[in-house]
Structure 1
Amino acid sequence: MLLWINGPFGGGKTQTAYEIRRRLPGSVVCDPEHIGFGLHRTLPPSLRGDFQDLPAWRQGVYEVLDLALRAHVGGPVIVPMTLVEPAYFTEIVGRLREEHGEDRVRHFALLAERGTVLKRLTERGLGRGLKRESFAVAKLDLCLERLEGPEFAHHIRTDRLTVPRVADEVAAGAGLRLLPDTDGPLRHRLRRIRVGLSHLRFD
């Protein structure tokens, strides 16, 4: 099974993905951003726009996830990725569903109020607040508007949910059972910090 976890930038996708991986033995996280970063590094700086607009990114993501679904032996393939352009969504998620069936390709959109997402972006700004997250802020309203659409269901409201609870909601929606969350508040906080730091980019 593939679990695509969608949502605005700063919406908790990556934290949720790694929480599911922690509590679901055999599952793996496949992050399509790495394909985009690789394409950016290959291109001259003047051509480095939104990598989702590159046909090579969309085709590459489809092929990598198709291979993962066919060849991975174990638990679900978890994909944390913001994808709000309907045509691109159809090109990737739609094709995967046609090839593998809707029961094996599940999609979840993590939604929250604008203020909630801005607060989360501020917290991950490493002391620079929203200035460091300017791209995410610029895309926020478009993401929230698009993801409300029926084509992006299953919707999960996360304003009042912890990361473990969001993970529980995603798993329940996919018919999966996670191991119990035995972390206390401190360990949970440290896990979030570690996941956040491991996904920092400086280029």
Structure 2
Amino acid sequence: MPGMIVWLNGTFGAGKTTTSGELVRLLPGARIYDTEEVGFMLRRLRCLPPVKDFQDWKPWRGLVVETAVHLLDQLGGTLVVPQTVLVEQYWTEIRTGLEKAGIRLHHFVLDSDEDTLTHRIDTDSVEAGARQWRLDHLPRYRAALPWLSRAATVVTTSGVSPAHVAGTIAGTIA
């Protein structure tokens, strides 16, 4: 069996990173696969055209899939991916690549109300420097929510702990 991916989508402040940590404690053989690292690697290449978001580079999407395939081939188990993807075409490319590789994919969107998201972003001491950037992405997330709701299981994170959210997700995929 080639393994499984649990993809946690949603906007910044929805709880993807914290929930991922909780989820790996609940799922035997699970580990976090941070696809942003692929983007950071690509940013070092000066030959790619400048973009505002590394997801705009087609190589990012392909390498996310290929890296997942190789990690699961080597390690087995489950990869938990806390990554916002708001462009439907990009998600389709990633999903299709994983499906072609025979990887079981569970896609969840962590969703919170606007007040909760704003509060979490305002009080996040880890990424305090990205506050405005994160707030500026809330309208893009809301615009993407219709297709995300069709493509994933939406899990509400307002008023519940990350451990509860992780338990809900773990129970869904069991």
Contact kept in structure 2, 1:3 and 1:76, CA below 8 Å: yes
CA contact (8 A) 1:125 1:133 kept: no
1:169 paired to 2:172: no
Q: Which amino acid aligns with 1:121?
A: I
Which runs of no fewer than 5 residues in structure 1 stay unpaired? 176-203
TM-score for both structures, normalised by structure 1: 0.76
Check the 8 A contact 2:26/2:170 in 1, yes or no. no
Cα distance, 1:37 vs structure 2: 1.4
More deviation, 158-167/15-24: 15-24
State the structure with more CA Rg: 1
* Map of 1:122 onto structure 2: 122
Measured in 2, the distance between the counterparts of 1:57 and 1:120 equals 28
Alignment CA distance shift 1:41-1:10 (3 Å): farther
- The 5 Å alignment of 1:35-184 reads 35-43=38-46, 47-73=50-76, 75-100=77-102, 104-125=104-125, 132-149=130-147, 150-175=149-174
The residue type equivalent to 1:115 in the other structure is D
CA pair 127-142 structure 1, distance change in 2 beyond 3 A: closer
Once residues 126 and 21 of structure 1 are traced to their aligned partners in structure 2, the CA distance between those partners, rounded to angstroms, is 21
Cα displacement (A) at 1:8: 0.2
Structure-2 separation of matches of 1:126 and 1:62:
28
TM-score using structure 2 length:
0.87
Per-residue CA deviations over 1:17-39 (Å, capped at 9, x if unaligned) read 11111233321110100111122
CA drift at 1:4: 0.5
Percentage of pairs with the same residue: 31
Structure 1 residues 168 and 47: alpha-carbon distance in aligned structure 2, compared to 1, 3 A threshold: same
Larger mean Cα displacement after TM superposition, 161-170 or 20-29:
20-29
Aligned positions, number: 170
Structure with more of its chain in strand, by fraction: 2
8 Å CA contact 1:2–1:69 kept in 2: the answer is no
Conserved in 1, the CA contact under 8 Å of 2:27 and 2:170?
Answer: no
Alignment of 1:7-46 (within 5 A): 7-43=10-46
